[in-house]
Amino acid sequence: MGDVVVVGSRASALAKTQAREWLEQVRPMLPPGVVFKRRLLTEGGDRDRVTSTLAEVARTTGGSAFSSDQEAALLAGEVDVIVHSLKDLPTTVADGTVLLRSPGPREDVRDVLCGASLATLPQGAIIGTGAPRRMAQLRRLRPDVTVVPIRGNVPTRLRRAGRSGMHAVVLAAAGLNRLGLMPPAGEREVLDPATFLPSPGQGALGIQVRTGSRAAELLDGTGDVGVDAAARAERSLLAELHGGCSVPVGAWARVEADGLLHLSAAVTSVDGADQVTATGQGPVDAPEKLGAHLAGELITKGAVRILERFRAS
């Protein structure tokens, strides 16, 4: 009788696709006797489709909108592995659990303006997004636009582009690619991460297990060193800023041709008027040190003031 590993994920089409993607990668790495079973779980952000922002959902549920219930199931032994969209996972995971090395390759980290380009948007255009980071960076690039919160899964939000007075919506390229929903070239703009920094962890998967479990033992050593280093640098920066997935912080780490890990980061006021940025590089085997260093640079430049103003709003 082989090992049985129960893999949990949310029930959305994207979450199921991500879990399937990970299973296809990891199966060949494990002994043939390992059997995987799937279990779908529901989070507060899935049950509450009325509250306008995920930050509000998290406050009302007392945890993360897209990870708390899954972590509880993991700790209760109902599942052995959780496959997360890493950008939705808080920088501190539940006691008794650990994140394994993130798998690779990482999906596209960029955001996509669906329905138009920044240059073709009319004056005062209405753009839909529920993420404060996206709201802030949009207003930074186009101060004239009106940004309105929208929620729902990827297909639901994509359908809002160009309808009901909404000129465009902003979505992650990773989700659009995984679901085969990327709009045609003339109906979108893939935003340059040099000026529109993604959410920390965007495009990467988070693989969470119980500390010391059989699943942790079986899966130890899987994943991609470069992708994992980039994800850890971004999450370390966010943790140092005491941020989460609902704050206006962008970060993008990648291993470049020089063999070093490069990290770019920005904290932007939600009105777009104020922004601090930092860039740096360091060895791939010290990603948390690089993240913490750049967070310190952002703090020196005024990031705390911007974030305090955001939290008080």
**For the segment 33-61, what is each residue's pLDDT rounded down to a tens digit?**
999 999 999 887 777 655 655 555 444 44
Catalytic residue among 106, 139, 151, 160: 151
Q: If you average pLDDT over residues 68-82, what whole number do you get?
A: 96
- What pLDDT shows up at residue 191? 98
Query: Of 101, 140, 157, 210, which residue is the catalytic one?
Result: 157
Taking domain 4-104+204-223, whether its CATH number is 3.40.190.10 is answered by: yes
Provide the mean pLDDT of the chain: 93
Query: Is 309 considered catalytic here?
Result: no
| Nearest CA-CA partner of 161 in 194, 187, 133, 136 | 187
Mark whether 151 is an active-site residue. Answer: yes
Catalytic residue among 10, 87, 140, 232: 87
- The residue type found at 258 is D
Whether 142 is catalytic: no
* CATH code, residues 249-312: 3.30.160
pLDDT at position 207, please? 98
**Is 65 in contact with 49 (CB distance < 8 Å)?**
no
Residues 259, 279: Cα–Cα separation, whole Å:
16
- Catalytic residue, chosen from 101, 106, 133, 210, is 133
- Which one of 10, 110, 134, 142 is the catalytic residue? 134
Inform me whether the pLDDT recorded for 168 exceeds 60.
yes
Max Cα–Cα distance, the chain, nearest Å: 65
**Is 133 one of the catalytic residues?**
yes
- Check: CB of residue 234 under 8 Å from CB of residue 242: no
Residue-wise pLDDT for 209-251, tens only, equals 999 999 999 999 999 999 999 999 999 999 999 887 789 999 9
Share of the chain above pLDDT 90, in %: 85
Confidence of residue 65 (pLDDT cuts 50, 70, 90): confident
Tokens encoding 76 = 């209760």
Give span(s): CATH 3.40.190.10, the chain: 4-104+204-223, 111-190
At 46 the pLDDT is 74
What is the distance between the alpha carbons of residues 205 and 228, in angstroms, rounded to a whole number? 9
Helix/strand/coil for 69: helix
1, pLDDT greater than 70: no
The architecture that CATH gives domain 111-190 is 3-Layer(aba) Sandwich (3.40)
The pLDDT assigned to 2 comes to: 73
Contact 208, 81 (CB under 8 A): yes
201 secondary structure, DSSP code: T
User: Where are the CATH 3.30.160 domain residues in the chain?
Assistant: 249-312
Q: Tens digit of pLDDT for each residue in 273-288?
A: 999 999 999 999 999 9
Instruction: Tell me whether residue 214 is one of the annotated catalytic residues.
Output: no
